[in-house]
A and B are shown apart, each in its own frame.
Chain A
């Protein structure tokens, strides 16, 4: 379960490691439901290359494609990002606990140091 989550996070971060794909996702976040050709328009790369990026984003579950007649539209799917947000929140909880203990230790050291100098 944990490993599944980590693997999907790894794949998600890997998918978002590419600037073109980040740009596609950012555009969809503003404007979900664009057609593939609308999505491809701002990029200098050819349509097949854009399709390859969309395949990778679809594999990690970040987008869904739907066919409407001859048009394929692309929608953003927020679930993988929520997984990433959950990871971040759990990680911050671990660090909050560590910082509590670190602060207690360092503050004790500070008091001892001041007492020595008095």
Chain B
């Protein structure tokens, strides 16, 4: 429950999807959370390299975020961290986010999996691998199934 996951099949080969995900030209097309324009984008897609995207949402507000490429296995996997340096969308604001992108070759192109974790600090990041996400997932299911709980 602490992670958001999305899977999408894209009719393009993994190397093209990888470039679309990591280059400034690619990021400029998709980073904005709505159909508003990206004003500037810069990216240095290598481990330790940074990226920065500034965009205007459809409501006219401007936002900027920057982050770092933490892991790169071209064209199969990218891990990046990012935070909003101005503005930001509520789902991602006030915290460092970690996004893992997994690309899998399929008959029709690429299956892309996005795992977005909102991390609150280093301690939480350290715990990330130890499964609180999984624990919360299980809990969510238990809660949905449990009739013992009193409604709040």
B56 to chain A, nearest CB (A): 15
B39: Cβ under 8 A from any A Cβ: no
A74 to chain B, nearest CB (A): 12
- Knowing A75-B150, A90-B90, A92-B5 are in contact, say whether A85-B140 is a contact too (CB < 8 A): yes
Q: Is the CB of B91 within 8 A of A90?
A: yes
B47: Cβ under 8 A from any A Cβ: no
User: Within 8 Å CB of B148, what residues of A?
Assistant: 31-33
Q: How far is the CA of A103 from the CA of B48 in the complex (A)?
A: 26
User: What 1/0 mask marks residues of chain B from 1 to 36 whose CB sits below 8 Å from any chain A CB?
Assistant: 111111010111100110111000010011111110
Q: Is the CB of A22 within 8 A of B29?
A: no
A46 to chain B, nearest CB (A): 24
- Knowing A6-B93, A95-B116 are in contact, say whether A88-B3 is a contact too (CB < 8 A): yes
Q: How far is the CA of A7 from the CA of B94 in the complex (A)?
A: 9
A111 to chain B, nearest CB (A): 8
A59: Cβ under 8 A from any B Cβ: no
Is chain B's binding surface mostly helix, strand, loop or mixed?
A: mixed
- Knowing A2-B90, A32-B146, A92-B5 are in contact, say whether A17-B136 is a contact too (CB < 8 A): no
User: Within 8 Å CB of B135, what residues of A?
Assistant: 16, 22, 25-26
**Interface residues of B, Cβ cutoff 8 Å to A:** 1-6, 8, 10-13, 16-17, 19-21, 26, 29-35, 89-95, 109-110, 112, 114, 116, 118-121, 123-124, 127, 130, 132, 135-136, 138-140, 142-143, 146, 148-150, 152
Q: Is the CB of A94 within 8 A of B92?
A: yes
Q: Is the CB of A10 within 8 A of B120?
A: yes
Number of residues from A at the complex interface, CB < 8 A: 50
Is chain A's binding surface mostly helix, strand, loop or mixed?
A: helix
Q: How far is the CA of A78 from the CA of B21 in the complex (A)?
A: 37
Q: How far is the CA of A70 from the CA of B2 in the complex (A)?
A: 37
Q: Is the CB of B10 within 8 A of A29?
A: no
- Knowing A14-B124, A79-B152 are in contact, say whether A102-B26 is a contact too (CB < 8 A): yes
A113: Cβ under 8 A from any B Cβ: yes
User: Within 8 Å CB of B90, what residues of A?
Assistant: 2, 5-6, 90
Q: Is the CB of A107 within 8 A of B152?
A: no
User: Within 8 Å CB of A102, what residues of B?
Assistant: 8, 10, 17, 20-21, 26, 29-30, 112
